Each structure stands twice: as structure tokens, then as C-alpha cells.
Structure 1
């Protein structure tokens, strides 16, 4: 098995400044770090709505995942961190719209705060690229 490592950047200025990657692929394993609904212009998408933020983040993560050669059907684990567990139903609704039939592992953790007060959820994602070679 080839375990070559590839780092992927989202272009966020802090990635280079602090030395982290948005996504790392090692062989068939793909790991995406904590991602919020911050848009390229620096504003928070879906401010005040955990549903809108969750949907935006998951769609952003699926697009990033595709850059590694993976796809949403290969996601095996999703971890969410929310500033208030009262958002659980909104988060679950957005999650279900994208991953209901795929059924990856899902963990939701409550936390006191994220980077910005308007951020209600942050999400991590792991996938394994599955090839159907015979």
C-alpha cells in the first residue's frame, strides 16, 4: 500500500501562518480538520442558523473531499462541535439531507465556544478511498 502523504490547503491565511493543513491524505485515508462556515470573504455564512451553517460546512467539506479523489459515499466519520446542544435538531436535519443513506459514524460534542461568537458549529470529516479494482 502506498502511504504517500499529501497536504491540502483551503487558502486560509492562518494555515500558512500557524502551520496546519485543512486536509491531509495518506494513502487511501483522508482527514479533514475542523471547518466552520466562514466564507472566502471572511464572513460567517448562515449567522444565527445552525441548520444553514451545518449544510454550508458539509457541502464545503464534500467539495474539498473530492479534490483528494474521494467522495461523500466514502466518508466514515464526522465529528461536530456545537456551542449549544439545543441546535441538535437543526444540525441533524442538515446532516440527514446529505448523509442519511450513507450512514457514517457521527459524533456531536457540546463546547463553550468556537473561534467567533457567530459560529455555532465546527465539523471534522474522515474518509477512506475505496477502489473497486479486481
Structure 2
């Protein structure tokens, strides 16, 4: 059975996607950025943008019955690879003991020029590690 989760992002309806989709025990969380109420949060601050994106991801996981401890894979897209340490620190604060398979790559741009980071996640409900 499929369950789609939306968060009201301004792009969900235009592009035709869901923030998260749960099928069986697997949850896929779409690329998530630091946008709240239609506004980019913390322009110029890759660490803070990563933290906000991760907060949105954690909330989407919870709505799907999953937790950060269930995350098995993340993908991190940055507009400047020199931000790897700040973005990695934010990721590590959420997933330190979970240690999902993860990839970070530099991309040419994201949907808004103020965005520096976009993060995807995949989880398997019940597979989890209890994060600290």
C-alpha cells in the first residue's frame, strides 16, 4: 500500500511530487531544502540550511512512521563542495550513530539561488538504530 506525504512546499503541486512516499516498510524522502513558508531559511549558511532540511526530513519520516534511526541512505547535494564540512557536521549530528550509506556531490544550482543544500533520504521502518 502506498502513502504519499506532502508538506505544502510551493513546488509540490507545480512539479507533482510528494515530500515522502511510504510503500510497505520503505520510505523515500524527496530532495529537501531549507524552505519554510515559501522562504529560503538562512541564505549563505550551508550548515543551518542542512539542519533545517534535516528537520523537515525527520518530520516527514515521523509522519510515515519512521525515525532517523531507520534511515539507510542519504544523498546530499551542495552548490559549493567547499561547504562539505559544515553540511557533513549537520548530517553527523542527526545520523552519527545511524551511519547511513551517504553520498555528497556538488551540483550547478538548486531551484532557488539562495539554496546551498538539498538532501534526500531513504528509510526502512523497523530497521533502526536508536540515535542518541
Same fold (TM over 0.5): yes
Name which one, 1 or 2, has greater alpha-carbon Rg: 1
Contact 2:74 2:122 in 1 (8 A): yes
- Return the offset for 1:98: 1.1
SS of alignment partner, residue 39 of structure 2: coil
Among 10, 13, 17, the alignment partner of 1:20 is 17
Question: What is aligned with 1:82?
Answer: 78
Among 111, 117, 120, the alignment partner of 1:115 is 111
Q: Distance in 2 between matches of 1:16 and 1:7?
A: 13
Among 80, 88, 92, the alignment partner of 1:96 is 92
1:1-36: per-residue Cα shift (whole Å, max 9, x none)? Answer: xxx111111112432233211111000000011110
Unaligned runs of 5+ in 1: none
State how many pairs are aligned. 128
Question: What is aligned with 1:9?
Answer: 6
Does residue 62 (structure 1) correspond to residue 58 (structure 2)? The answer is yes
Question: What is aligned with 1:36?
Answer: 33
Q: Distance in 1 between matches of 2:94 and 2:74?
A: 12
Q: Distance in 1 between matches of 2:122 and 2:69?
A: 11
CA-based RMSD: 1.4
TM-score (norm 2): 0.92
Q: Distance in 1 between matches of 2:58 and 2:10?
A: 21
- Return the offset for 1:60: 1.3
TM-score (norm 1): 0.90
